[in-house]
Amino acid sequence: MHSYIRPNTYIALRLPSGTLKVLEIIPNTTISIGKFGAFPSNLLLGRPYYLTFELLDKDEGRATTELRVVPASELHAESFAEDHATPAESRDEPAEGGGEFDIVGEDGELIMRSNRLTVDDPSRQKLSMDEIEELKKAGTGSGKEIIAKIMASHMAIDEKTPFSLAKYTLRKSKKYLRRFTALPMDVSLLSQYILEKEAHRVMELREEMLGLIGSWANVHCAASSRVVSSPDGRGMIGGGRWLVVDDTGGMVVAALAERMGILYPEETLDDGDEDLEQEQGQHQVPEDPTKERKLSSGQDGPGQSAAADTGTDVMMVDAPSPEPPQLLSETLQSDRSNPPNRRSDNTAPSSPPKLPSPELPGRASDGSAKETTDHTHQKSRQPRPIKPQMSALTNTLTVIHSNAQPNLGLLKYFSFDATSPVPTHPLYTNLKTLSWLQLLHPSEDASSIEPEVVPDSVLATWKSGKRGTYYRKRRRWERTSRVVKETRAGGFDGLVVASYMEPAAILRACVPLLRGAAMVVVYSPTVEPLVELSDFHSKERRVAYLARQNNGIENGKNGKRNVEEGAENNEEDGGEADSDFPVNPTLLLAPMLQTARARRWQVLPGRTHPMMTSRGGAEGYLFTATRVLPVEGKVEARGRFRAGKKRKVASDATAST
């Protein structure tokens, strides 16, 4: 996570009332915070997080609204004040009748006043609402003057107790102070914000439940984990890979990715070099405009037109030849060597675009090769190596979705878009997605069908657009095939489910894909689906299932999985046995059902209770279990323990006689 505010990123502004306002910092725009006013977004760029700002209106000395950083000494002035001493507690027994009296010291000085005679009457406030609105429209100061005038015009301000006066001051500060605190967008803050706005979107998933999910699933950063090949040699075991079924819009994926260290984009160290390079490029004006037009239109031959175009044509020249999916990581490395240009995050929109140079590096204007002596310029033109999408082997998340595209819209708050991901984001390589159709029946999915292989001689005659479409289809097929084969091979370290689908159907398809000792975590806003799931894995069903296997009653198909083929379902629909054993109860051990909820309490003598303004909604429950590998064959106990005990009792009886 970045330590300062960067352009085109999401942040949260905490207002004095405690509400959160989430917005995207776009350069050269205006940010509005409702009744408190508006200010230019450029005033926040480059500022550290967790600072409290105060809006200063336009006056004679300022042309626009400005921000003032509120120091900590001013924010906590009341806490540091020495004149607010805490009165000594009285150990005397309370008087009968519950009456409240003023607390007086030994010298007769009034220590604490009681609010027994205080009358809260709106007529004691001299300022009317119209006058207060006029003060707000005048825009004098940052709201402190308005609060001071309101308190000075209150006729009964001296009758208030220290507690009521503090509450009154705090209430007015929340209403009139024009301050806000800039906070970075993280999973904890996003869960609070979404839970207040659209709780149904995240299945009413609270922050404490996200913590339980990550803890029980043993999610952690496993980038340096050791990868072990599976016994059949078709996949791998472990490596920090988790299987996820997420119907919360990406909230669960974001929480797991944060624990794995792949949620936030890396803070690059060469931002200044990019700015310098762009600044130099802005001053490179072509000597001959006609030559520039020739380069852009491709009149100097196909080689120069491909090099001058920074779009897809450069990528198509180095596109990989048709190869099997297992060699995709090597072929796509060269394919991504010339990515399209992207605007830097620090580039101001008002800056002019970078113009192409009249002569390409390493090539003269007539198309012949030439020596380049400027190594610095040649180094700046060298493209960055970009890894292929979904190519990471360890520390990955594999998301199974039911639609054509995964619903991961909440990841946009962390600078990641699943439809058009940025290659520099960690999730670009460590987040893998596939549909249920691709997992269970890959032959029926259109994206799993290999495109026709076209020879290079035919590709040379195609236009750039058609050739680019061909290469994109090949890359999509290779990426999909690699992810599907890797997922169906199994060996995952855990399974996390937060879906409206039937939990038993999900576990029937995904549990065989887990390695031994992997954790299974299923979240549901209501308890009924998880109670049914716990019953499917109860000890009684496990004993009955083993008894049927040992007695040879089963037909050999019901309740079993073809583990070698991944998630292939060989279960026959219908029949009495299917209703008795919807899942194989021997695959999971120690099923548990639990819940947790953090509540705010009011702690006062005789009035301790949860806060009345706490949010209700679903409680939320978790089902957890451990994946085990059933032993192959039949296990039988050997020995004559009962007979030995009887013989010992008989021998003792004869000896006594």
Point out which residues pair with 523 in neighbouring strands: 498, 622
- Please give the pLDDT value at position 230: 75
Enclosing H/E stretch for 13 = strand 9-14
Compute the C-alpha angle 594/407/622, nearest 5°.
Answer: 5
- Single-letter amino acid code for the residue at 336: R
**Token pair 């050791």 in the structure block, residue:** 226
Q: Identify the band that residue 572 occupies on the pLDDT scale cut at 50, 70 and 90.
A: very low
Q: Residues of 272-289 as b/e, b for ≥16 C-beta within 10 angstroms?
A: eeeeebbeeeeeeeeeee
What's the gap between Cα 613 and its chain centre?
Answer: 28
Q: Which helix (H) or strand (E) holds 14?
A: strand 9-14
- Give the separation between CA 566 and CA 486, rounded to whole angstroms: 9
Lowest-confidence range among 242-251, 371-380, 406-415, 428-437? Answer: 371-380
Element (H, E) at 622: strand 621-627
DSSP per residue over 158-211, as a string?
GGS-HHHHHHHHHHHHHHH--EEEEEE--HHHHHHHHHHH-GGGGTT--HHHHH
The residue among 106 and 22 whose pLDDT is bigger is 22
Q: Are 484 and 567 in contact (CB under 8 A)?
A: no
Quickly state the pLDDT bin for 333 (edges 50, 70, 90): very low
**pLDDT mean over 5-20:** 92
> What is the predicted pLDDT for the residue at 191?
94
Which range has highest mean pLDDT (283-287, 304-308, 333-337, 594-598)?
594-598
CA-based diameter of the chain, in Å?
125
Q: For the chain, give percent helix, strand, coil, nearest 5.
A: 40, 15, 45
* ∠ CA 491-399-428, rounded to 5°: 100
Q: What's the whole-number average pLDDT of the chain?
A: 74
Indicate the range of 359-368, 540-549, 597-606, 616-625 predicted with least confidence: 359-368
Q: Summarize pLDDT for 154-195 with one digit per residue, the tens.
A: 666 666 777 777 777 777 777 778 889 999 999 999 999 999
- Alpha-helical runs (H) found in 269-373: 271-282, 289-297, 302-308, 312-317, 328-335
Contact 249, 240 (CB under 8 A): no
pTM of the entire structure? 0.70
Residues 6+ apart with CB under 8 A from 125: 150, 153, 154, 155
The ranges assigned to domains in the chain are 1-77+110-185, 206-267+387-602+609-634
Q: Could you give the residue ranges of the DSSP H alpha helices within 441-502?
A: 456-461, 464-489
pLDDT tens digit sequence for 575-591? 334 677 889 999 999 99
CATH number of 1-77+110-185: 3.10.330.20
179-193, 301-315, 627-641: which range is least confident on average?
A: 301-315
Q: Please tell me what DSSP assigns to residue 486.
A: H
Candidate CATH numbers 3.40.50.150, 3.40.50.720, 3.30.465.10, 1.10.1040.10; the one for domain 206-267+387-602+609-634? 3.40.50.150
Q: What distance, in Å, lies between the first and last C-alpha atoms of the chain? A: 85
Three-state secondary structure call for residue 337: coil
pLDDT of residue 258: 95
Look at residue 621 in the predicted model and tell me its pLDDT.
96
Residue 262 burial (C-beta neighbours within 10 Å; 0-12, 13-18, 19+)? buried
Report d(CA 618, CA 530) in Å as an integer. Answer: 14
For residue 290, name the pLDDT band (cuts at 50, 70, 90): very low
CA distance 562 to 546: 18
Which helix (H) or strand (E) is 594 found in, with range? strand 588-594
The better pLDDT of the pair 13, 381 is held by: 13
CB 557 within 8 A of CB 577: no
Cα 301 to chain centroid, rounded = 48
pLDDT band at 139 (very low <50, low <70, confident <90, very high): low
